[in-house]
Amino acid sequence: MHIFFFFRACIISGSTTIFTFMFKLCALFVNVLLSNLSRQQFQ
């Protein structure tokens, strides 16, 4: 029973880590896009 809970906790933490990584990657991509757009508008 305890092993199952530990296993489930590992899966949950792993999925949230991957989700956080993807979220940061998307945020970085949007940030670069916005900075490029603003640069083009100023020029």
- Predicted confidence at residue 29, as pLDDT, reads 95
- Predicted confidence at residue 27, as pLDDT, reads 93
Q: How far is the C-alpha of 14 from the C-alpha of 39, rounded, in Å?
A: 38
Q: How far is the C-alpha of 25 from the C-alpha of 7, rounded, in Å?
A: 27
Domain count within the chain: 1
Instruction: Tell me the pLDDT of the chain averaged across its residues.
Output: 84
Q: What would the pLDDT profile of 2-21 be if each residue is shown by its tens digit?
A: 778 888 887 787 888 888 88
* Between 27 and 42, the higher pLDDT residue: 27
- Predicted confidence at residue 6, as pLDDT, reads 80
In terms of residue numbers, what domain contains 13? Answer: 1-43
Half-sphere exposure of 27 (CA within 13 A, CB side): 6
Mean pLDDT of 22-35: 92
pTM of the complete model beyond 0.75: no
